[in-house]
Structure 1
Amino acid sequence: MGRSSRLFEIIQILRRATSPVPARSIAVALEVSQRTVYRDILTLQAMSIPIEGEAGVGYVLEAGFDLPPLTFTAEEVEAIVVGLSLIGRTGDAGLLEAAARVSRKLSAVLPPTTENSLEASPLHVSRWNAIPPARIAYRMLRQAIREERKLRLSYENEAAQRSERTVWPIALVYYVDTIILAGWCELRQDFRHFRVDRITSCELAEGSFKGSRDRLRAEWLARQNLFTAF
């Protein structure tokens, strides 16, 4: 979670609280150290956010403080509801947690009208999907893509043949029945697709491909009909 998002989350935690919130509780909720929470509280106070309290006692947000409301049309709210709900089909626990946080943030800042109600939306998405469960954490794949880190994969193809690959991950592609990791394969010296449910193990490898991701992704998109898959 980036610092700006973390500062926003602290405000939301304090807004929902009915009593002083200890730094320890905030740290646990955001998966950071208490020292980080203390620094963030000082930053928010320096930004004139009316937070009162101190280390060892707890923090409260002054009554009446609110963030500027966001304005969405009814159709934009419906798009958000359906988009967040569809994440449930991926099986990606990290994205599900993030979607829940997004929903809470939007509910907290949207003007209280029927058209803006996320919880009361008449649009519902089935959680059914045909995506096989993964044996690895999607969070690691997304982290490697963001940070341009190489991955070391153990992969099993459709014929149950196993191989070890070092991959430069550039994209995740979500289909109805599977999720694909796209990347540059050092073994094949070309782009390859890997079904995530066939990756038997995965870890961050030494080395990175900093500065190459955008170029590789552009080339990958240009060649999307020419891949050798799986």
Structure 2
Amino acid sequence: MRKASRLFEIIQILRLARKPVTAADIAGQLEVTVRSVYRDIAALQAMRVPIEGERGIGYILRPGFDLPPLMFSIEEMEAIVLSLALLERTGDSELKQAAKRVSAKIAGAVPPPLRQTLDANALHAWGFAAPSASAIDLALVRRAIRDEEKLDLAYRDELGRATERIIRPIALIYYAETANIVAWCELRQAIRNFRSDRIEDCQPTGLWFKGEGDGLRQIWVNGWQTNASAAAG
């Protein structure tokens, strides 16, 4: 979990708590170390978030502090409900769990008339759900895209031939049957698509392509725009 997300989550945990929450409890909920929680609490206090308490006793958020409220129209709420339902079809277990947390947070924050939209269960996303990728963690891929970290793939092409690839991932496309990683392939020296169901192993390399992501995405976009223009001609 990225630091910005952790800081937000800590505020949410303390805001909803009815008694002091220990660093160990927070660490357990966020799946991080207690030391990380201590550092995050100190960072929040430095930003003048009114957190009180100390190690071994617990922390509270002083009354009166809250995050800015989110205000949604009925149509915006319906868009959120349907979007969260569509995440069930991606096969990305981390995103599905995140969708459930989003639903719970929205339900606890919106006024009763809008909450009825969530409770009505009137909007559904039917259709085939992609199976979870067994050999690859899509959350790892999404983090690599954000952090611009190269990945090491053990991959089989459409003919079943095994290859080793070092890639620079720039996008992730969710289809009904699989997810495709769009990446610069260092073996082919070109943009390639890698189907998640053909990946036999995927590991971070600790090597980076900082600052190159936007340029590589533009090469990708230019390529499919050129292909679309040729097809139309």
**The TM-score by the shorter chain falls in which range?**
0.7 to 0.9
Contact 2:150 2:206 in 1 (8 A): yes
Shift of residue 8, structure 1, vs aligned partner = 2.2
Aligned pairs for 1:14-163 within 5 A: 14-63=14-63, 65-110=65-110, 112-117=111-116, 119-126=118-125, 128-134=127-133, 135-163=135-163
Matched, 1:201 2:201: yes
Shift of residue 49, structure 1, vs aligned partner = 4.0
Q: Which moved more, 1:186-195 or 1:2-11?
A: 2-11
Q: 1:96 to 1:130 in 2, by over 3 A?
A: closer
Q: Percent identity?
A: 49
Letter in 1 for 2:221: L
Distance 1:118 1:26 in 2: 31
What TM-score comes out, normalization by structure 1 length?
A: 0.85
Shift of residue 116, structure 1, vs aligned partner = 4.3
Q: Which moved more, 1:216-225 or 1:115-124?
A: 115-124
Q: Secondary structure of the residue that 1:193 maps to in structure 2?
A: strand
Shift of residue 50, structure 1, vs aligned partner = 4.2
Alignment RMSD: 2.5
Contact 1:130 1:178 in 2 (8 A): no
What TM-score comes out, normalization by structure 2 length?
A: 0.84
Gap regions ≥5 residues in structure 1? none
Q: Secondary structure of the residue that 1:223 maps to in structure 2?
A: helix
**Match of 1:168?**
168
Distance 2:159 2:147 in 1: 32
Gap regions ≥5 residues in structure 2? 229-233
Contact 1:103 1:118 in 2 (8 A): no
Contact 2:91 2:129 in 1 (8 A): no
Distance 1:46 1:212 in 2: 33
Contact 2:92 2:132 in 1 (8 A): no
**Match of 1:180?**
180
Distance 1:104 1:179 in 2: 27
Q: Which moved more, 1:3-12 or 1:188-197?
A: 3-12
The CA deviation string for residues 68-122 of structure 1, in whole angstroms up to 9 with x for no partner, is 3211111111111111221111111221232233333333433x23224564143
Number of aligned residue pairs: give it.
226
Q: 1:16 to 1:128 in 2, by over 3 A?
A: farther
